[in-house]
Chain A
């Protein structure tokens, strides 16, 4: 096991990783940028080290600074969290060069799974159904136009190096392709330093379902069920739940089984998530794999009792998986609500400010992952996630009831949050009846789900 772990991330996930390190008895060092000096992770940590200024490029994305910070504090591993450098093969490689273990897949594995198009083809060869789309990266506009004509509009343009919905554009016609392709390219270049794009036919009414896999470095792998993340706004997930309320046996078991078998065959390791589109007929199509821990991982933890961060660390340390598929019990229903510093009454514009009052829900089967405290100033430099509220119930109805109470208990003052949206949607018939497709919020406008201003 590792002597000491550097946590190269911020916000709630830095706190989350710190907690597991403590449970495992591993000392941890929190790396932080200047504006995060007063963050909860830094306050909680036994040891913390400033790696750069606010600008992520010079701090949380600064590979030499993170590696140097790990070395001078005596760490032998780096946990990248999600976002930032979590899926960067060059960073994983640089860690290895300096004798540090990157807590995630090895560099060669990330590399192999980095190109979304290549992965689609690789996993399709291992039996996963995929959405019709471009044959690889589109060369230029005329290539994109010709191929889109063949696949059929609408198509979703995606950056090959991308993730988290950034740089994606829905294109409905050749004319839109002409304007969208250059824009999408420049967005992708700015966000990922790589402007190669591919596209898939857009399945208008779809749900987003993903399968969590855990695979050790010795060829043993299990799935921990699926999550349904269909409540999205502009491709950003807002609510996630498990199991998917839109799937039934035997399709559900087939999805889980195909997912784990195909990635095992393709040589994946560590924790990962395979994302699928589910169409109204119940057919699913593989879209991409995320080689990192995900924001919504607690949903799976509530269902299985497995600490996914601990699994990541153990696998990176070379340990064998301690669970077999037969030992995994997926029990009850869990729902996660992402509470963000966004004003739902003002088109979800990002908010900053100082938390002046804070009351978080608690009670049986209620979990809150957050980095908030009274007096904390939300910096304008990073993402708007403030807290994740996760509830569990024996059934979906029970989980919804618990969520309603927990959301009512939430009280945050000093900064506007999207809590009114969550309180609104939880009683919305489309959500209660599991009829929300990923485009619903953008089509109807999320304001329709927001309750009256308090």
Chain B
């Protein structure tokens, strides 16, 4: 990385990445988020990090490592919602859980509507971040089932 692109990357980080990461940090209630690209590293941490109390769900994995480097820009993360295509009971695919790498089109599970399975597929490449629905839960059309952490070039 030459000096010029490095300076650009830092400028971009200041302008785009930090607010975006801060917003995500607050929204997800995380302690810290760190992303790395080449020798550029951005870490955003909560000022005072409360210890998770009893009953607080900590199903979200530690902020992710292994960002796919994308040429010409720093990487940011997007939480991609996977929603229900039907009205019925939702069941996860075997072995699906937070941290699992998935590709676009991979089966996340299915919604059974009157005995007919409607497959739920990931809409992007990424890592399963959060299982929002419970297996066997009745779901409506468009209901958020899973969030997939997707890397995109910024």
Contacts and interface: CB of A to CB of B under 8 A. Distances in A.
Interface of A: 34, 49-53, 59, 64-65, 67-69, 71-73, 98
B86 interface: yes
B114 A64 contact: yes
B114 A34 contact: no
Given A64-B114, A68-B114, A50 B89 contact: no
Interface in B76-113: 86-89, 113
Nearest to A71: B114
A406 to B, nearest CB: 39
Interface stretch (B4-12, B14-22, B124-132, B139-147): B139-147
Contacts of B141: 34, 50-53, 59, 65
Given A49-B87, A51-B87, A72-B87, A64 B143 contact: no
B31 interface: no
Interface of B: 86-89, 113-114, 116, 138, 140-143
B140 A98 contact: no
> Top 4 A-B pairs ranked by shortest CB distance?
A72-B138, A50-B140, A68-B87, A68-B113
A36 to B, nearest CB: 12
Contacts of B87: 49-52, 64-65, 68-69, 72
A65 B141 CA distance: 9
B138 A50 contact: no
Contact of A69 (B116, B140, B142): B140
Residue of A34, A52, A98 with most partner-chain B CB within 10 A:
A52
25 contacts: A34-B141, A49-B140, A50-B140, A50-B142, A50-B143, A51-B87, A51-B140, A51-B141, A52-B87, A64-B113, A64-B116, A65-B87, A65-B113, A65-B141, A67-B114, A68-B87, A68-B113, A68-B114, A69-B87, A69-B140, A71-B114, A72-B87, A72-B88, A72-B138, A98-B114
Given A34-B142, A52-B141, A72 B89 contact: yes
A72 B114 CA distance: 10
Given A51-B140, A68-B87, 10 more contacts: A50-B87, A50-B141, A50-B143, A64-B86, A64-B116, A65-B86, A65-B87, A68-B113, A72-B88, A73-B138
B88 to A, nearest CB: 5
A312 B25 CA distance: 54
Nearest to A70: B87
A71 B88 CA distance: 9
A413 to B, nearest CB: 31
A59 B85 CA distance: 12
B140 to A, nearest CB: 4
Contacts of A69: 87, 140
Contacts of A64: 86-87, 113-114, 116
A72 B89 CA distance: 8
A69 B140 CA distance: 7
A68 B117 CA distance: 12
Contacts of A59: 141
B145 to A, nearest CB: 13
Contacts of B113: 64-65, 68
A261 B21 CA distance: 74
Nearest to B86: A65
Contacts of A73: 138
Contacts of B140: 49-51, 69
Nearest to A52: B141
A51 B142 CA distance: 8
Contacts of A51: 87, 140-141
B146 to A, nearest CB: 18
Residue among A34, A51, A98 with max Cβ neighbours from chain B (10 Å):
A51
Contacts of B143: 50
A59 B113 CA distance: 14
Contacts of A49: 87, 140
- Most-contacted residue by chain A among B89, B113, B140 (CB, 10 A): B140
A53 B142 CA distance: 8
Contacts of B114: 64, 67-68, 71, 98
Contacts of B89: 72
A49 B138 CA distance: 11
A64 B86 CA distance: 9
Nearest to B139: A72
B67 to A, nearest CB: 34
A68 B116 CA distance: 11
B133 to A, nearest CB: 13
A98 B114 CA distance: 9
A50 B86 CA distance: 9
B90 to A, nearest CB: 10
The listed residue with most B CB atoms (<10 A of its CB), out of A49, A68, A71, is: A68
B115 to A, nearest CB: 9
A52 B89 CA distance: 15
A89 to B, nearest CB: 18
A454 to B, nearest CB: 40
Nearest to A66: B87
A156 B33 CA distance: 71
A335 B45 CA distance: 67
